[in-house]
Chains A and B, each alone.
Chain A
Amino acid sequence: MKPAEVSAPSDREVLVNRSFDAPVNLVWQAYTDPVMMPRWLTAMPGWSMPVCEMATHVGGKYRWRWRNDENGQEFGFTGEMLEVAVHSKIVHTQLYDPGEMGGSMGGEPSIITVTFDESDGITSVVTSIKFASKADRDAAMSTGMTDGMEMSYQALDGVLAG
């Protein structure tokens, strides 16, 4: 499958496109089953997802948390399911929980929309991340960049230590 395409259609939205060589029922399972999710949604090398409380009904709350295996630092996301159409669409709010990682993604929750579309056994998944404002997008951007640099340094430490 072609690598994920990430774009910014506006100053408060990010779109991620990717196709998977699997029928939609399996992709849906991997996206919504709290046992399956931590097996792939680990964010970055050296991180795990020890907390994955999921909800697949409208109004249900979810809580995801990631941990750095080396220093134990955590961060997470929480939110509420706004729309669930099995094998087709999930819409939920998302609030950044900085844990020990720090940073901010603004005060208002962002809205995440994930759509699933199967054709000939290939499922395309489109994820839209809509920030409440450009300021929130900018906050997420600077938090992301700091974490990214931190990660690179850790990777470099690994290389130097090895």
Chain B
Amino acid sequence: MHLARGEASVSDLVGLFSLTQPTVSSHLKVLESAGLISRRRVAQSRPCKLETEQLKAVTDWLEQLQEVWEGNYKRLDALLAELKQAQEEKK
């Protein structure tokens, strides 16, 4: 949330969340590997930035996949209803 306002350093975030530095660093590592934030190297510090474009590309793509899969699954619902009826008639 804080990153929505711009870059922040690890020590900024440690101060904000009253978490230890290793905890904040390990959270950031997860976010970075997911491509949700990026980090520059400035001397000893590595400020992080929210990657909103990448985030939007992923959510758009997932939304599109959802539409395609749900389209298939609606047809599958209909096919299963048909198979179920056929199975019951056989009994």
Contact B76 A40 (CB under 8 A): yes
Please give the distance in Å from B18's CB to the nearest CB on chain A. 28
The verdict on B70 contacting chain A, using a C-beta distance below 8 Å, is yes
Selected interface stretch from A22-30, A81-89, A91-99: A22-30
A20-B73, A20-B76 known; 5 new pairs, CB 8 Å cut-off, are: A18-B69, A18-B73, A40-B73, A41-B72, A43-B72
From 33 to 91 in chain B, residues with beta carbon under 8 angstroms from any chain A beta carbon are 33-35, 57-58, 60-66, 68-73, 75-81, 83-84, 87
CB-based contact A29/B72 at 8 Å: no
Tell me, yes or no, whether A144 is within 8 Å of chain B by CB. Answer: yes
If A41-B72, A141-B61 touch, does A26 touch B87 (CB 8 Å cutoff)? yes
Q: Would you call A58 an interface residue if the criterion is a C-beta within 8 Å of the partner chain's C-beta atoms?
A: no
Q: A6-B66, A40-B76, A141-B58 are in contact. Are A22 and B84 (CB under 8 A)?
A: yes
Report the interface size for chain B: residues with CB under 8 A from the other chain.
28
Cβ B64 vs Cβ A4 within 8 A: no
Separation in Å of the B67 CB from the closest CB of chain A? 8
- Point out the residues of chain A lying under 8 angstroms from B63, CB to CB: 6
Chain A minimum-CB-distance residue to B64 = A148
A44 touching B62, Cβ below 8 Å = no
**Known interface pairs A1-B77, A145-B64. Does A11 touch B70 (Cβ–Cβ under 8 Å)?**
no
Inside 8 A of A134's CB, which chain B residues have their CB? 35
CB distance from B36 to the nearest CB of A (A): 9
Complex Cα spacing A10 to B34, Å: 6
B residues 19-36 in Cβ contact with A at 8 Å? 33-35
Top-3 shortest CB links A-B: A40-B75, A22-B80, A40-B76
- Interface assignment of A36: CB less than 8 Å from any CB of chain B: yes
**Which of the residues B57, B68, B87 comes within 8 Å of A141, measured between beta carbons?**
B57
**Min C-beta distance of A23 to chain B, whole Å:** 8
Cα distance A135–B60 in the bound complex, in angstroms? 17
Shortest CB distance B87–A (Å):
7
Contacts of B60 in A (CB 8 A): 145
